[in-house]
Amino acid sequence: MPPELLLAAAATLPFLGSVVAICLPSHARGAAAGVTGFATLASLACLAWLSPLAAGPEPVTFAVDWLPSLGVRFVLRLDGLAWIFSLLILGIGALVVLYAQYYMAAADPVPRLFCYFLAFVGAMLGIVLSGNVLQLVVFWELTSIVSFLLIGYWSDNASARDGARMALTITAAGGLCLLVGMVILGRIAGSYDLDAVLASGTAIRESPLYLPALVLILAGALTKSAQFPFHIWLPRAMAAPTPISAYLHSATMVKAGIFLMIRLWPVLSGTESWYWIVGTAGMATMLVGAWSAIFQHDLKGLLAYSTISHLGLITLLLGLDSPLAVVAAIFHTVNHATFKASLFMAAGIIDHETGTRDMRRLSGLWRAMPYTGTLAMVAAAAMAGVPLLNGFLSKEMFLAEAVDNRGDHALNLALPVLATLASAFTVLYSLRFIRQTFFGPPARDLPHAPHEPARWMRIPIEALVLVCVAIGLVPNLTIGPLLAGAARAVLGDRTPDYDLALWHGFNAPLAMSVLALAGGVALYMAFGKRIDTNPRGGPWLMDRLDGGWLFERGMTNLVRGARWLEARLGTERLQPQLRILFLAALLAATAAGLGRGLDLFAPGRTTAFDPAFALLWLVGAACAVGAAERAKYHRLSAVILLGGAGLVSCLSFLWLSAPDLAVTQILVEIVTTVMLLLGLRWLPKRDAAIPAPASERGRARRRRLIDLAIAACAGSGLAGLAYAVMTRPPVEGISRWFVEEAYPQAGGRNVVNVLLVDFRAFDTLGEICVLGVVGLTVFALLRRFRPAPDSRARPAQQIRQDAYDRGREGREPGHTAADALMVPRTVITWLFPFVVLLALHLFLRGHDLPGGGFAAGITLTIGFMLQYMANGAEWVEARLRIQPILWIGIGLLVSVFAGATSWLFAHPFLTAAFAYWDAPILGKVPLASALIFDLGIMVLVVGASVLMLVALAHQSLRRTRGVEAERERA
């Protein structure tokens, strides 16, 4: 398999596995874990296969065009740095899967957890493998979103929801800053390709946009890596299941920020601003984190603050302008991931087996779980920087860098002191963790009796602790080559000489180490008791400064402010909203017209005036004004007048050479009118004789005047605009091409129809989808329709007629109505085949003459509608089985099928073909594949419009049925 495909496979496998995992039933624990473990290990195997290549001078890359018009490519790129991070992500990921399989309770929907987990693995891999800075931001935001889902996995737990929300708010906001920063960076470098960005370090540092770009990118990196003061989200994210905490806060999520700073270190570092921002943030985070960790009573809380402190240490290293510090940072990243993941898992085991994580309740667990205790102790020793373990090596490098001052900044002078202090704090809280949990008298009244966990649950910790020891003892054989590859990938020619040996002789770092170890132990002896009895649990000196509380208060105030603004400036009422909308449109149009000097009455082309046309529009205008005036109290006449206005516009289409429009308009007009008439039945009685309250009268009058003014202004504006455009000479557009090519390319003479079913068929497909959706929505809305109480009574006329029918011998209720419709009914019943014929005619001639699928469909609908009107719903449905929903589905399928067949001939979707066929009687029949598409349109239109009409018409029927059922019950 070629390397680039292997790389692509490695990046895709986690996402594929995620999709598979979510498809599993929620009790399929084993299968879900199997899929997850397989996807992780397979991805790891792919990358491991490539790692010898990645260690070479050129990274392994896989590139495809992403946004070719912007020159943006999707690039996967594996170099030494990406490999060492991938190893952490996938290696620890696989161990976490094994651990989670035993950790999660039987009731938890585990496949969902594994789905999120794999998506997270994929997103993290995406970040470290990105060879394009924009692509990196996309994966970056994906990790924010997926971590939200992971932290909030136990969504019935309020603290999980809050923690997830805070993590998302902070990290996603940072991600947005990062996006802007990356765009600036790409602009300066001239390309978004990582290689190009890395190659233009000097240009970037000298650009005037360097500082904004730096601040924005660091806002992303520092929020993600939980640096002070953004660290508040991390302790609250501990509400996640422990395997997830172990993963997110040791190897992955928080390391994304570190990775980004390392990746861009060659480009962004080496300036005063980098030094101050990154160095200060790292220093503050390291101290605040270590200080707060001391005072935690929750095991996971202690580990969370310890993580913050270690991230601060790494950030501080990156802030120092020294290649050796970068090597130390990468080294410590790996070490921290291993010992912190094992400590989180150990804390999880303690929680799992005893039922509590509170160090004040835990004690003397050594007796019950000596094996877990040993593992935790080794890992904690690595965290504290005890010799022979990996933490010692990287801490030595850190202390060496702290001593090795460059320049004479105040920060540099304080550095050795503060570094030693933070190390002493680390020793203190590591010691406290072990001492409180495993030693002392046996704990009483724990929720469960403690015992060793399942064999398989310990394996991940054993593996990680083994790594800690192996790196600590023989660094050059284990981490050496990996670290060298990563350092070379970042630093290139600036890679320093360094020695990973255990013993560097008696020097300042060693002295500081010893001092820190001794100081930590001494501090614990002195203050251990008082820390344990510290009632509030918050750190001394800092208990007034609760970042989480400030954050929550800020969010609450933000929401409150938004509510206040909404209450002041917003309205839920429709009329003011619409008024503002129309006024804004009016103002915008006026401003544009005045600003560009629009001359409404410039002399131009006109068509000869025809008095008949003027007369027609006199009627049309009268109908429109009448409809507007009558719509409140006389709805029936308003509907009739509306129909009149529609008829006039239809005639205008006919007059002005648009027969297709005229045909469609008149057909639609008929169906719309019938629908409005069906709806009238359910509207309230409105009587002009009922006066409005006196207080309302003046306001209503003023409102009407304003509306009238808006309407008049908008109307005259639209009229003026229409006149101005129509009198100007036409612009040479794309129309000529359509007219010329309609016959040669599509075999149709009716250009409008050809446009709809061939040239712009995709639009039409969308349009019929809308129609189908509306049909189904209407149906769904009316299924649960309950008429208002005052519309429930039967119409007075019907009651009178029925009373008359009941009173006469030999008459049944309904006879009067039937008699009245006798003649029309007979005519309409016999008309049905002719309407169907007309529909077929319109359909077949559509390609060459006015007509087409839509007109045919509406005609057929009218045919059905007439039957309903003349004979009643029950009569029709006893004789005709109409299944409109089926018609909608078939129509859509036929249309899509007609479009898709062009794929068979290697043409794009909806490419039409045509031919002529000599039929026996009909003569030459044009056969275009567009005809099949048109057939789909027709079928769907019939389905959708019949569905709407029948759903409306059935409301009266259903009500009578309900009333009858009630009567029978009585």
Q: 509 to 568, contacts with another protein by CB under 8 A?
A: none
Q: Which of 109, 720, 889, 926 binds another protein (CB under 8 A)?
A: 720
Q: Say if residues 265 and 285 touch (Cβ distance below 8 Å).
A: no
Segment contacting another protein (CB under 8 A): 147-155, 199-207, 284-292, 760-768? 760-768
Stretch that binds another protein, among 104-112, 503-511, 534-542, 703-711 (CB under 8 A): 703-711
Q: Which residue's structure tokens are 């010691």?
A: 431
567 or 921: CB nearest another protein: 567
Provide DSSP, 74-105.
EEEEE-HHHHHHHHHHHHHHHHHHHHHHHHS-
Q: Are 854 and 864 in contact (CB under 8 A)?
A: no
Assess contact for 891 and 943: CB atoms under 8 A.
Answer: yes
Residue of the chain from 25, 698, 789, 908 that contacts another protein (CB under 8 A): 789
Report d(CA 635, CA 623) in Å as an integer.
14
Nearer to another protein, 308 or 663 (CB): 663
User: Are the C-beta atoms of residues 205 and 270 closer than 8 Å to each other?
Assistant: yes
Cβ neighbours of residue 865 under 8 Å, at least 6 residues apart? 671, 674, 946, 949
Question: Does residue 756 bind another protein (CB under 8 A)?
Answer: yes
Rule CB under 8 A: say whether 923 interacts with another protein: no
With CB under 8 A as the contact rule, the residue among 105, 694, 734, 904 that binds another protein is 734
In what helix (H) or strand (E) does residue 76 lie, and over which residues does it extend?
strand 72-78
Q: How far is the CB of 782 from another protein (least distance, A)?
A: 6
Applying CB under 8 A, among 176, 628, 821, 932 the residue interacting with another protein is: 628
Contact region with another protein (CB under 8 A), list: 4-12, 124-132, 422-430, 678-686: 678-686
C-alpha span between 798 and 651 (Å, rounded): 37
Closest C-alpha to 747, from 529, 519, 926, 956? 926
Task: Give, rounded to a whole angstrom, the gap between the first and last alpha carbons of the chain.
Answer: 80
Q: How far is the CB of 588 from another protein (least distance, A)?
A: 15
Nearest-approach distance from CB 850 to another protein, in angstroms: 7
How many Å apart are CA 28 and CA 36, to the nearest integer?
A: 12
Q: Kindly write out the interface string for residues 449-488 of this chain, putting x where it contacts another protein by CB under 8 A and - elsewhere.
A: ----------------------------------------
Read off the amino acid at residue 473. Answer: L
Closest CA to 433 of 365, 368, 334: 365
Q: Compute CA distances 384 → 297, 338, 380, 440, 611, whole Å.
A: 18, 13, 6, 21, 99
Cα distance between residue 2 and residue 5, in whole Å: 6
Helix (H, G, I), strand (E, B) or coil at 329: helix
Total length of the chain: 970
Q: Indicate whether 689 belongs to the interface with another protein (CB under 8 A).
A: no
Taken in order 753, 757, 763, 769, is the CA torsion positive or negative?
positive
Distance CA 307, CA 301 (A): 10
Instruction: Return the range that interacts with another protein (CB under 8 A); candidates 392-400, 640-648, 818-826, 883-891.
Output: 640-648
Nearer to another protein, 454 or 780 (CB): 780
**Encoded amino acid at 740, one letter:** E
Query: Taking a C-beta distance cutoff of 8 angstroms, is the pair 298, 532 a contact?
Result: no
- In angstroms, what CA-CA distances link 250 with 85, 172, 395? 12, 20, 17
User: Of these, 592, 711, 919, 957, which contacts another protein (CB under 8 A)?
Assistant: 711
For another protein, which is the closer residue by CB, 460 or 850? 850
154, 682, 832, 875: which one binds another protein (CB under 8 A): 682
Q: Does 885 bind another protein (CB under 8 A)?
A: no
**By CB under 8 A, residue 696 contacts another protein:** yes
What distance in Å separates the CA atoms of residue 10 and residue 40, rounded to the nearest whole number?
9
Using CB under 8 A as the binding rule, the residues of this chain from 941 to 970 that contact another protein are 944-945, 948, 951-952
Rounded-to-integer distance, Cα 924 and Cα 916, Å? 6
Site residues for another protein, 41-100, by CB under 8 A, read: none
Among 668, 818, 885, 932, which residue sits at the site for another protein (rule: CB under 8 A)? 668
The two three-digit tokens of residue 696, written as one number: 């309302």
- Shortest CB 62 distance to another protein, Å: 43
Angstrom distances, CA of residue 222 to CA of 112, 323, 821: 30, 20, 80
Q: Which is nearer to another protein, 274 or 759 (CB)?
A: 759
How many chain residues touch another protein (CB under 8 A)? 114
User: Residue 38 or residue 582: which is nearer to another protein going by CB?
Assistant: 582
| Span from 356-364, 503-511, 651-659, 871-879 in contact with another protein (CB under 8 A) | 651-659
Residue whose entry in the numeric block shows the structure tokens 């949990």: 437
Minimum distance, C-beta of residue 683 to another protein, in the bound complex (Å): 6
Nearer to another protein, 157 or 652 (CB): 652
686 binds another protein, rule: CB under 8 A: yes
- Applying CB under 8 A, among 223, 665, 859, 871 the residue interacting with another protein is 665
Question: Alpha helix (H) ranges present in 295-444?
Answer: 299-319, 323-354, 370-384, 390-403, 410-438
Nearest to 305 by CA among 379, 233, 392, 218: 233
Q: Which helix (H) or strand (E) holds 64?
A: strand 60-67
Which residue stretch of 208-216, 741-749, 898-906, 927-935 sits at the interface with another protein (rule: CB under 8 A)?
741-749
Segment contacting another protein by CB under 8 A, of 153-161, 283-291, 401-409, 669-677 = 669-677
Q: How does 554-588 read in b/e, with b if 16+ C-beta sit within 10 Å?
A: eeeeeeeeeeeeeeeeeeeeeeeeeeeeeeeeeee
Residues 599-618 close enough to bind another protein by CB under 8 A? 605-610, 613-614, 617
Question: Does residue 164 interact with another protein by CB under 8 A?
Answer: no
Q: Which two tokens stand for residue 822?
A: 């006798």
- The least distance separating another protein from the CB of residue 165, rounded to whole angstroms, comes to 22
Q: Does position 569 bind another protein by CB under 8 A?
A: no
Task: Give CA–CA dist 303/286, Å, rounded.
Answer: 13
Residue 635 in contact with another protein, rule: CB under 8 A: yes
Instruction: Tell me whether residue 383 or residue 645 sits nearer to another protein (CB atom).
Output: 645
Q: Does 590 bind another protein (CB under 8 A)?
A: no
The answer to whether residue 652 forms part of the interface with another protein (CB under 8 A) is yes
Among 474, 562, 722, 793, binds another protein (CB under 8 A): 722
Candidate residues 271, 356, 672, 956; the one interacting with another protein per rule CB under 8 A? 672
List 109, 659, 813, 926, residue binding another protein (CB under 8 A): 659
**Count of C-beta atoms within a 10 Å radius of residue 215:** 13
- Which of these ranges, 158-166, 189-197, 335-343, 649-657, lies near another protein under the rule CB under 8 A? 649-657
Stretch that binds another protein, among 53-61, 118-126, 548-556, 664-672 (CB under 8 A): 664-672
Please identify, using beta-carbon distances, which residue of 173 and 661 lies nearer to another protein.
Answer: 661
Task: Pick the piece of the chain touching another protein (CB under 8 A) from 98-106, 267-275, 784-792, 926-934.
Answer: 784-792
User: Tokens standing for 678?
Assistant: 């069906």
Among 155, 716, 797, 960, binds another protein (CB under 8 A): 716
